[in-house]
Amino acid sequence: MTKEEQEIVQLISIAGESKAKAFEALKCVKTKEFDKATELIAESRNLDLAAHNIQTDLISRELNDEVESSSVGLLMVHAQDHYMTSQLARDLIETLISVLQ
């Protein structure tokens, strides 16, 4: 596995962890544990920031003519899907927390 592929897999892993934290926060809302839910959303946001940093680095290298990067493959498309889904889930759940609190 290349270094770039490892970074893409890391992006997938971090995005999955972020989404899991967001849905764990939603479970806390159901039981009215709003402080815990807010804490989990903050953890999810921090994970999304880490994923964003990996994504930005990958995109920057792809746009740099002096650095050789692989073409966009199914693995990167899969990573983008996970990352965007985790952001959407977190944003929606964060809104639900504020509405129900």
pLDDT in tens, the chain (101 residues): 888 889 999 999 999 999 999 999 999 999 999 999 999 999 999 999 999 999 999 888 888 877 776 666 888 899 999 999 999 999 999 999 999 98
Q: CA 86, CA 101: separation in Å to the nearest integer? A: 22
**Contact between residue 67 and residue 61 where contact means Cβ atoms under 8 Å apart:** yes
- The pLDDT value recorded for residue 31 is 95
| Catalytic annotation, pick one of 78, 80, 91, 96 | 78
DSSP state of 70: P
52 is catalytic: no
SS3 content of the chain, % helix, strand, coil (to 5): 85, 0, 15
Handedness of CA 70, 72, 73, 75 (dihedral sign): positive
Per-residue DSSP letter, 67: S
Residue 60's pLDDT is: 87
Q: Which of 6, 10, 87 is nearest to 46 (CA)?
A: 87
Q: What is the structure's pLDDT at 52? A: 95
